Amino acid sequence: MRTYEVRTYGCQMNVHDSERLSGLLEDAGYVRAAKGDDADVVVFNTCAVRENADNRLYGNLGHLKPFKDANPDMQIAVGGCMAQKDKGEIIRRAPWVDVVFGTHNIGSLPVLLERARVNAEAQVEILDSLETFPSTLPTRRESAYAAWVAISVGCNNTCTFCIVPSLRGKEKDRRPGDVLAEIQALVAEGVMEVTLLGQNVNAYGVEFGDRQAFAKLLRSCGDIDGLERVRFTSPHPADFTDDVITAMAETHNVMPSLHMPLQSGSDRILREMRRSYRSERYLGIIDRVRDAMPHAAITTDIIIGFPGETEEDFQGTIDVAKAARFASAFTFQYSPRPGTPAATMADQVPADVVADRYKRLSAVVEQIAWDENKALIGTSVELLVAEGEGRKDEATERLSGRARDNRLVHFTPGDELPRPGDVVIAEVTYAAPHHLVSDIPVTTVRRTRSGDAWEARASGETEHTHGGSTGAPVLLGLPTLRG
C-alpha cells in the first residue's frame, strides 16, 4: 500500500484542486502519509503568480533528490499552474521528476503515475483545455463542516500583470443545477459553510448568457435547509452589479463579508493594468455594499510597484485604502511574470522604491484594520468554531473561530467545550490588527450537525470522500484568486 503527500501552493482554487488530487489517489488505493513520514508519492500542486514560485518549486524538488536517489521507487509529480507554464522544462531542470500534469487534467494523475512506474520513464501530459470539471472528481475534503464549491474555472480578463488566464484558460461555467446539487449533497454530509469559487466569480453565467446568474445563485443558496454560511471569492469590480449587492443583503445565509481586489488606487495605473474600472467606481461599490450591509467586512488585494508607478500613483492607492477602510488587505510587491504584457513594460520600478512603498502601505492598512477591530470591542459575535487555525495562547486554553464577517476570533471556552463546526456566541474584549480576542468564557454553545460530522471523522467513523466539493473555510491569510 503506497502512501502519498500533496503539497499545495497558491490560491483557493489550488486548495480545491489538491483535495481532488487526494481523493483521486485514495480512490486508486493510496493512503495519506502520516505527518512526519516520508511518502512514496509526493505531489506538488504549484502556483505561478509570484516571481518566487519558480525558485520555491525547484528548491523543493532539489531537496527531494537525495530521498529519490536513496529510494528509486519513490515518485514525484508536479501539477498546477507552474506545470502548465513550464511543461517539459520541469523534467529538463529536474530529471528525477516522474510526472508533470497541467491545470486541465488533474484527473489523469493516478494513470500517469502508474504509466511512469511501468515504463520507467517520466510522463508529461499538458492539455490546452479543460478535460473534466474538477468538481466531478473524487474528493478528500480537509474539513467536515466547511467546503469549497467551484462554480467556474478560467478567466476572460486580460490584466497585464496576470498569467492566470493563459494557464487556466477561458472561463467555463457550471450549470446552476449542478452547483446547487453539489451544495445540497455537502449539507447532507454535515457541511454548514460553503465558499463559491471562481477566478472571476461574479462573471458567472457569461458562458450560458445570463448576466444575473450569480445573484440568482446566491439567492438559491438561501433556500437550502441546513446551509448556514455562504461566501464567495474572488469577484471583479468591473462585474460587480447592484443585483449581487441586493442578493447578498437579502439572503439570510450569505455572509456580510466581501473580498474585492483593488490592485491600485491610481486610475492611470488601473488603465495600464487593463483593469476595466476606476477608483471612483470601486469606492462606489463599497459604499453601496455598506449601505445594504452596514457591518460588512471588506478585504482586498493591492499590488505595489507596477511598472511606471509614480509617487503620485502610490498616493492614490493610499487615499483609496483610507477611504475604503479595509478590514484586511493583502499587499504584494509587483514581480514580472514571463508571458505577461507588464513584464516587458518600460519604467520598471526599482526594488528599493517598491519595498519602501510596500512598507508604508502595510502600515496604513494595518492601522486601519486595527481601528476597525477596536470598534468591535464589547460586541457579541457568532463564531463558527474552527479547526487548524491554532490557539493564540495555550496558557489560556483559547480556541478559535470565524465570525460571520470572517474575522478571526480567539475565544475562551466555558464549561461546555465546543467542537469544530459548532457555533458559539462570544463577547469581544480585545482587538489586534489581524484578530479579535474574547477572554470571557462563552456560555452559549450550539452543537451542530457539522460538529457531529467533525466528531465522526475524528473518531474514524467516516471518510468523507465523494464527488462533491472540498472543504476548508476561507482564511484571511490565504492568498486569493486573481480578480
What number is the average pLDDT over the span 369-392? Answer: 88
C-alpha 63/C-alpha 165 separation (Å) is: 31
From 29-43, 129-143, 202-216, 398-412, the region with the lowest mean pLDDT: 129-143
What pLDDT, in 10s, does the model give residues 193-202? Answer: 999 999 899 9
What pLDDT, in 10s, does the model give residues 184-239? Answer: 999 999 999 999 999 899 999 999 999 999 999 999 999 999 999 999 999 999 99
pLDDT above 90 coverage of the chain, percent: 78
What number is the average pLDDT over the span 364-391? Answer: 91
- In this prediction, residue 36 carries a pLDDT of 86
Name the pLDDT band for 132 (thresholds 50, 70, 90). Answer: confident
* Mean pLDDT value across the chain: 91
**Which residues are paired to 197 by β-bridges?**
150, 233
**Which residues, other chains included, contact 36 with Cβ-Cβ below 8 Å and sequence gap of 6+?**
none
CA distances from 348 to 53, 145, 270 (A): 20, 45, 16
Backbone dihedral region of 347: left (phi > 0), alpha (psi from -120 to 50 degrees) or beta?
left
What number is the average pLDDT over the span 294-321? Answer: 97
What number is the average pLDDT over the span 283-305? Answer: 97
From 80-89, 170-179, 308-317, 441-450, the region with the lowest mean pLDDT: 80-89
Backbone dihedral region of 80: left (phi > 0), alpha (psi from -120 to 50 degrees) or beta?
left
Number of neighbours of residue 356 by Cβ within 10 angstroms: 14
Radius of gyration of the chain (CA): 22
Q: How far apart are the first and last CA of the chain?
A: 41
Q: Mind listing the domains of the chain with CATH numbers?
A: 3-125 (3.40.50.12160), 141-372 (3.80.30.20), 380-465 (2.40.50)
pTM: 0.89
**Based on the number of CB atoms within 10 Å of its own CB, is 316 exposed (0-12), middle (13-18) or buried (19 or more)?**
buried
C-alpha 330/C-alpha 480 separation (Å) is: 9
Per the listing, cell 457591518 goes with 295
